[in-house]
Amino acid sequence: MPQNLLAITIGNTRTKLGAFVDDKLVESWAVVNTELREALAEPLTKAKALLRDADDAVAVLASVNPTLTDVVLKQVAAITGLRVLRIERDVPIAIGRHLDREAIVGEDRLLNAAAAYDRLKQACIVVDAGTAMTIDLIDGQGTFHGGAIAPGAQTMLDAVHGRTAQLPEVSFAKPLEPVGHNTVEAMRSAVYYGMRGMVRELTEQYAEVTGGFPMVVATGGDAPVLFEGFDLIERLVPDLTLLGIAVSLRRWHEAGEEGE
């Protein structure tokens, strides 16, 4: 049965929303969290219009930012009137897990893994380049093994500015060339090529673990700048987390129908 859905994922820096009509992502929006209270109404109103003819539409919310969760929940209820389901509390994420018993993994990482494996049906690596950068391994049976967590590009630049006396505040951008001929370009070069090198090294290490070379998928706000044209990245999927919500809702519905 085709599903109609407003998917919402609250991150550390941005909140993303996506309207799925008959299983297809028809439009998505991103709102900076510092502007969330004022800016969320517009995408919610647009999503409501897109889903107005779907009697079965629901909202499904994932969050790695608990302080903003109630803010978003209240606006979703007030503006859309949709029933809201929570990822993991109501809808389990559709990915197997091989982790330490005490491990706590962000919902965004698991949702990215669910979407990537649903599309590829093979071992893969998901790189999410945002406030933090995660590099995660999913095996050929669809099991999430965890991976590596590093500071994101802007987080690195902010840290080196904050911990030194003379290095300036710098916004992240692709460096003009590998050799920085001024301080700003040198800082950008270190972050840009350092992050790409980290992904390459970890991919090679993961390949030894799996006995093959997994396909590498990238997502996150900095992914286009970091990985456009990078030979290691086979797919850039901006809305991977939203797609993971849709996959998980579909699997949850299927499991419910089988149990009836």
8 Å CB contact between 219 and 238? yes
Residue of 130, 132, 11 lying closest to 69 (CA atoms): 11
Residues 6+ apart with CB under 8 A from 58: 4, 5, 6, 82, 83, 84, 85, 249
Would you call 108 a catalytic residue per the annotation? yes
- Which residues neighbour 258 within 8 Å (Cβ) at sequence distance 6 or greater? none
- Give the pairing of strands 143-151 and 132-138: antiparallel
Catalytic residue among 22, 53, 90, 108: 108
Name the token pair of 88: 């993991």
Q: Strand, helix or coil at 94?
A: coil
Unique residue bearing structure tokens 């909140």: 15
Q: Give catalytic residues, as residue numbers.
A: 108
